Structure 1
Amino acid sequence: MAAISSVQCLFSCDSHHHQLVQSGSLWRLGSRVLVSSSLWKRSQFSRGDSLRRRNLICAVKGDAEGAFKKTVAIDRMIDALQDANPRELEQLVVENILAFDEVFWIRLAARSDTCKSDDDKKDYEELAATVMSIVDCVVNKTREKIETSTDVLKGILRPVVEGVEEISWPPRDPEAINQMENEIIQREKEGQLDEGFLSEVSAQLRQAKEDKEKPGLAAMLQKVLQLYAATILSKRSYAKKGNEVVKAEYFLETLIKAPEEQWNKLFLDGLTIGKGEIAPDELSSVIKKRIERTLIRTEGGSYQQRVLIEYLKGIESRATEILKLIQE
């Protein structure tokens, strides 16, 4: 149980350290929102603090020109928020979530200070409360999603870490990898392996690589992404055209499903450089086609797209290495 305890400790600490990667900015934003909210409430739109807040904007930005451009951008955002209906307001906040930093709240308070009527001041107070509420909701949902993703990852890793004193890779029990693969297949069917999950795994992998004392964990997390990619890519086959089998496509699909440790043997058995009948150029061609199809079928810049493309390029890179070794 020592190994799984260390994994749990890593998740509980490092998942907060990586702070959601792309979504992680929301974690940092969460802390800024708390500061900003209290700042707004403490100020109560006090005119006496107005000058200090304006000076703070300039100090934060470092130069007058930069501060001016930032102020103009914030004013445009405030104007857009004021003119928006409730649905549009929520969408604006979500789409520009990172814009609601401390400088934004300072500027909003400063604009309220210049109001000549209590009604206008009240409008700003209501706008601030609404925006804060939406931001807090986004942050809370993101936190919940990360915690769920962490639990999913723990469940996938459990077969290879449970009962092990120290994390190592490969695991002493080969069956543990099969159990981990079955977990991934089942959880993918249940829709648990979403962008939040891939973000969590990718962030934990980066942390593990930086920590030289956890090479086993890095390899384990890399295996999770490989198994995920193999599971997703294997759901669609291009090996048949009518009644004919496209041998190069079939060979690629065999590689996709196979463990990375078996790739070298499969290349030697399947390519013309060894015992097979698939030319290296044919394999390269079908890999490129699969990459193009993946780019079309996945969201641009998503973790899913990155993981799938990286897996396919990994196969291509290994084939190139084998070819060079044989030609030498």
Structure 2
Amino acid sequence: TAEAPADKERLSNLANAVMLLVNEMVKRSEQQLNDSGKVLQEVMSAAADANGEWYVPLTDGQVEAMRQRLLDNQEQLDEALLSNAFAWIKKCNEDGFDTMAQLIQKVLQLYAAIQLKGEETSGVAGIINELLYADEKYWGTILQKHASAGELAEPAFMEELQRRMEVVVLGLQSGSYAQRVQAEYLKEVEARAKGVFVKLAEAS
């Protein structure tokens, strides 16, 4: 019939259009990965010395420089960047580049801190914001300071931390790198805080 060739042509045109769309999406994904790789390199270079070498633990200045580079590229703190970071960590671990793997892990921690920090500056929420944004080596000191001053109790701290976790679990795409990185960071804070509260209870 006359309709059959027309239908066949329409299907063929549709298939071609779909193929073009898929190819374009692949190109964009590849470009995203390339762009995010450049951002990662830029962030990591902020912690390198004059010879382009990295040494851990990083100084406070190096950590802050990396954080600032992330903030400068905030529009590109997406799944492509996180995917690249995990791929690089895996490759570094396989090749024995432990220092580089630690450096990329620090990038992920800084990313999580940027995403999780709220606007509050007082109360338990404000203390958690301070904690999230601080380098992990200062977490114990910050917790002890506020607890000793009577500004922080474990139940209220854990309740607010759980609220943040619910926002991550319910508000971000399930199984995404963003959800994974932010949830792991909150769990790390929780584990460290529990240890501090135990020591404070033993000392009282």
TM range (shorter): 0.7 to 0.9
- Give the Å deviation of 1:296: 4.1
The DSSP-based 3-state class of the residue aligned with 2:67 is helix
Residues 1:131 and 2:22 aligned together: no
Query: Which residue of the partner structure matches residue 158 of structure 2?
Result: 284
User: Any conservation in 1 of the 2:173–2:179 contact (CA below 8 Å)?
Assistant: yes
| TM-score normalised to structure 2 length | 0.81
Gaps of 5+ in 2: none
CA distance 1:134–1:165, shift in 2 (3 Å): closer
Instruction: Work out the CA distance in 1 between the residues paired with 2:6 and 2:167.
Output: 57
Which of residues 266, 269, 287 is equivalent to 2:145? 269
Q: Deviations over 1:257-296 (max 9, x none)?
A: 211110122222223xxx2422222211110112223334
Q: 5 Å matches for 1:97-116?
A: none
Q: 5 Å matches for 1:1-328?
A: 126-161=13-48, 163-164=50-51, 166-171=53-58, 174-188=60-74, 191-211=75-95, 213-234=96-117, 236-238=118-120, 245=122, 247-271=123-147, 275-277=148-150, 278-324=152-198, 327=202
User: Any conservation in 2 of the 1:169–1:217 contact (CA below 8 Å)?
Assistant: no
- Give the Å deviation of 1:183: 0.9
Count of residues paired in the alignment: 198
- Give the Å deviation of 1:324: 4.2
Instruction: Work out the CA distance in 2 between the residues paired with 1:300 and 1:128.
Output: 31
Q: Deviations over 1:184-234 (max 9, x none)?
A: 12211xx121222122223222333344x2111111111111111222222
| TM-score normalised to structure 1 length | 0.53
Gaps of 5+ in 1: 1-116, 240-244
Q: Greater CA radius of gyration, 1 or 2?
A: 1
The DSSP-based 3-state class of the residue aligned with 1:160 is coil
